[in-house]
Amino acid sequence: MPKMAKIVVDVGEQMNGITFRLSPKTRAFLSSRLTKIAPPSSVFVSHETASNFENYPGPLWEHVAMILTGLSEKKLKELGGFEFVTPVGGKVWFESAVR
């Protein structure tokens, strides 16, 4: 599978939590190359968990990325890693380190 710049996860803050979803460009890239059952379109994390979310180490972010893409940790790295970004303003919440 060709490598893309990064898998982008859009972060949407709401009154009661945070919603994560793949950016339209990332979803189009993955859906054009994967032929398996589609993973969920979004993941919601309530404020009880979200208040500590930014302080968690990378694996928690990685789990959300794996849930949204249906890909393994290894495949995420092969594709160039991932980042969590607010679609409006482009604030980067987390960016994976690809070695």
Residue 15 lies in a domain: yes
pTM of the model: 0.81
Number of domains in the chain: 1
pLDDT in tens, 74-91: 988 888 899 999 988 889
Residue 73, domain member (yes or no): yes
Q: Range of 71's domain?
A: 7-95
| pLDDT over 90 at 61, yes or no | no
The answer as to whether 2 is a domain residue is no
81 within domain boundaries: yes
Contacts of 9 (CB under 8 A, 6+ apart): 20, 21, 22, 23, 26, 64, 65, 68, 82, 83, 84, 85
Which has more pLDDT, 92 or 46? Answer: 92
Instruction: Round to whole Å and give the CA distance between 84 and 31.
Output: 19
Residue 1 within any structural domain of the chain: no
pLDDT tens digits, 12-24: 988 888 899 999 9
